[in-house]
Structure 1
């Protein structure tokens, strides 16, 4: 139906047609009216298009995961046992022969706490902590060490605040996201830090860059603790999985079918959870950034 409104002084005329078009015409006279056409079906078409784009996006994600899994199968079957036998098993044997558990605790704790200050990854130390101490003591060891490892760069970076500002200017997009985290009240900063920790934003860089964004230490360390819990559990799980494969390779005993199924399901759940959390964090950060630009 076409509704045509023509304002001629105080008079309004409406005409109807069968094309489903709305025509709004304003002017001083009917002869001057041209009108702007707006299709009623455009909104529905836009919503259908957005739904199809979302479905297509998820389809591409699923296809990418299937492709990566298919590519990983030969690596796991042929390359994985070789790496475990030549690298991981000798390292584990050397570790157990050289250090006692108390000395190993001190070494792992110091590595996890100090490596981030020098921009060195501490994930291998977390794997060893998970292999050696499991989910209980291993989680406590990694969490306390990580909190110190995230605090030291924060305090060290406070002495180089102006240099960090100039350094961030080289990457304006990342700088905009970090500055967004420094705005608002305590809870806003806490939420932004949690999202940045679970997003793909570089972990070691954010330890220093948080100072340049004027984030307070309270929401920074609280948000960092919450945002790294899932990563610690996944690191411990992957370490335990590597250890079970190393033990099976070292002793020459194959894993039982039940253990293989359990490990496969656990790995898929961990990978899916990581992907879901990361996607949620990225979308929420984009939403916060868009709201900040509009305000």
Structure 2
């Protein structure tokens, strides 16, 4: 993602990365369908750990979309959810759209970081220094991006915990 930011900037980089994300999450989703029974047994073996994954497959389209989005923003390992999504009965459309929306903050920061690295590299190559205004803009922008990501991650974890508690009450 950094390389996409360095080479293509925001728009082309975003399109390229999101196309890669689409393929990268779709393949395990459909491979998971082949191993449905085995994944289902694993989820049953670890009910507490799998509760949030099972929660994603419940409810209607919007509930699935919202839960997938929250899972993508949270620190839950992506690869685990990619394979388990089929076994939890998450439909493909909310899975893919929720993945796109949930990964946007991460992709944006990675692209921004790549663009920032490129600007520093160009300044070094041209043997010129960045202006004070550019340095301040880059540092503040980077800190704001990291701060927003941390804030969103904390809020997402709290929301997922609340959803898990609501599920256990039912």
Report the TM-score, using the length of structure 2 for normalisation: 0.92
- Within 5 Å, give how 1:11-50 maps onto structure 2: none
Q: Distance in 1 between matches of 2:131 and 2:51?
A: 51
Q: CA deviation at 1:174?
A: 3.0
- The structure-2 alpha-carbon separation of the partners of 1:241 and 1:160, relative to structure 1 and needing over 3 Å to count, comes to same
Aligned residues, how many?
170
* Structure possessing the higher relative contact order (Cα contacts under 8 Å, 6 or more residues apart): 2
Indicate yes or no: 2:83 matched with 1:208.
Answer: yes
Residue 278 in structure 1 maps to residue 153 in structure 2? yes
| TM-score (normalizing by structure 1) | 0.55
Aligned to 1:30: none
SS of 1:228's partner is helix
Quote the Cα distance in structure 1 between the aligned partners of 2:68 and 2:165: 17
SS of residue in 2 equivalent to 1:210: helix
* Higher helix fraction (1 or 2): 2
Is 1:222 the counterpart of 2:111? The answer is no
1:165 to 1, 26, 40: 40
What displacement does 1:247 show? 2.7
Structure with larger Rg: 1
Unaligned runs of at least 5 residues, structure 1: 1-125
Give 1:232's aligned residue. 107
Within a 5 Å distance, the mapping from 1:104-253 to structure 2 comes to 126-168=1-43, 171-253=46-128
Pairwise CA distance, 1:206:
1.4
The secondary structure found in structure 2 opposite 1:135 is helix
Per the TM alignment, residue 275 of structure 1 is displaced from its structure 2 partner at its CA by: 0.9
Q: Deviations over 1:147-187 (max 9, x none)?
A: 12111110111101122233445654331110111111111
Query: Hey, what's the Cα distance between the residues in 1 that align with 2:89 and 2:39?
Result: 11
Q: Where is the strand percentage greater, Structure 1 or Structure 2? A: 1
1:192-224 per-position Cα deviation (integer Å, ceiling 9, x unaligned): 001001111112221112122111112111111
**Given the alignment of the two structures, is residue 290 of structure 1 paired with residue 169 of structure 2, yes or no?**
no
In structure 2, the CA distance between the partners of 1:176 and 1:250, relative to structure 1 (3 Å rule), is same
Q: Distance in 1 between matches of 2:125 and 2:5?
A: 19
Q: Out of 134, 139, 146, which is 1:264 matched to?
A: 139
Give the Cα–Cα distance (whole angstroms) in 2 for the partners of residues 238 and 167 of structure 1. 38
